[in-house]
Amino acid sequence: MLTSLLLKYPNATVQKHYPSELNSVKIWFTEENQDEFLGIPASDITQEEIELLRCLFIELTNEIRLLNESPLSNEWFEFLYKEGQVPSHTENEYRVIQFTMHNQAELNLMKEAFKHLLPLHTVLVLRNENKGLIVEEKNDLNLDEEQLRSISHVIESDFFVSLSFFIGQFQPVNRDFLKSFQYESEMFSFSDTNHRSNYIQSVVTTLPSFMLEHLPIEWKEQIFSKTTQVFTEDTELIHTVRAFLENQSNISQTAKKLFMHRNSVQYRIEKFIEKTTIDIKTFQGALLTYLAVLEFESDNLPKK
């Protein structure tokens, strides 16, 4: 879409990487996914046009340096978002934990809170007033989901701001690190939009739904037609099946989770197998059924 503006501003520049310099000579805009950047000469655009483009696109400014005061934070921002140099002292493996703050808060106080809550081996990098990264070096004391929940609870109680996290994967810091970060960013954007009820996501938890989202509709209709019919006819069955899968296909654990008698759970699972001819007790059958559950819930159940 940015490229089409060249008809209006023929002297503008379109490029695939973050501008190497932001100054008063050009006004730069990008879109949410930041895979294309448009620089319009300041002499070619009016203030009214700038205001209009701000409503449609993201204007790039030097505010990032105000958000990230520390040199290391800026190094990571330059590396991840501007294709800058690899940050210094990164011989070990690192991962990126992305987060979104779903309400506004006083930024300086928020940064101070993160500073006290995060361990020393992490670097806080803010992208804007609502989005940021926790860059974490691999060691024996890495953040886990429980610690992230604790951080989220403190932030929410102090600032009335809800957080969602996406935990990336550890890997060496090189140019391939950038590619993985871009893939993880796309998955986080997907999960943050579709699964905000579960505010800690990862590649493992998001990938099945992400794959389904990109599967052709006609494929999904064909593959999941039978399970959709079964779940539609017996809506309670989907809760039993999902609980069975989430409890490692253990009948007793599922019964305890659902406050049901073990025989009732066994009956429902056998009923599902009989109606769909999918043996949910095998790994392959469980995998197919899990995808079928996700697909049915995304189409039929209210978003949480």
Residues 10 and 55 both lie in one domain: yes
Question: Dihedral (C-alpha) 148, 150, 152, 156: value to the nearest 10 degrees?
Answer: 180
For strands 200-202 and 163-167, give the pairing: parallel
Residues 199 and 279 in one domain: no
Residues 101 and 155 in one domain: yes
If one counts every other C-beta atom within 10 angstroms of the C-beta of residue 105, the result is 16
User: What would the mean pLDDT of 179-199 be, rounded to a whole number?
Assistant: 83
Asked if 194 and 277 sit in the same domain, the reply is no
pLDDT > 80? residue 301 = no
Same domain, 53 and 150: no
pLDDT value at residue 24: 66
Instruction: Check whether residue 22 and residue 68 sit in a common domain.
Output: no
Which of residues 230 and 3 earns the better pLDDT score?
Answer: 230
What's the total number of domains in the chain? 3
Q: For the chain, give the mean pLDDT.
A: 89
Q: Which of the listed residues 183, 206, 229 is the one where a domain comes to its end? A: 206
**For 54-112, what is each residue's pLDDT tens digit?**
899 988 876 655 678 788 898 899 899 888 889 988 889 999 999 998 887 788 888 89
- CATH number for 266: 1.10.10.2840
Positions of E strands within the chain: 13-15, 26-30, 37-41, 58-59, 93-101, 122-126, 131-137, 163-167, 171-172, 200-202
Domain containing residue 161: 64-206
- Are residues 269 and 195 both part of a single domain? no
Does one domain contain both 51 and 88?
no
Domain co-membership, 102 together with 219: no
Assess contact for 165 and 152: CB atoms under 8 A.
yes
Kindly report the CATH number assigned to the domain that includes residue 168: 3.30.70.270
- Same domain for 101 and 36, yes or no, is no
% of the chain residues with pLDDT over 70: 94
Average pLDDT, integer, range 191-209:
81
pLDDT band at 303 (very low <50, low <70, confident <90, very high): very low
Task: Look at residues 102, 73, 219, 80 and name the one whose alpha carbon lies nearest to residue 160.
Answer: 102
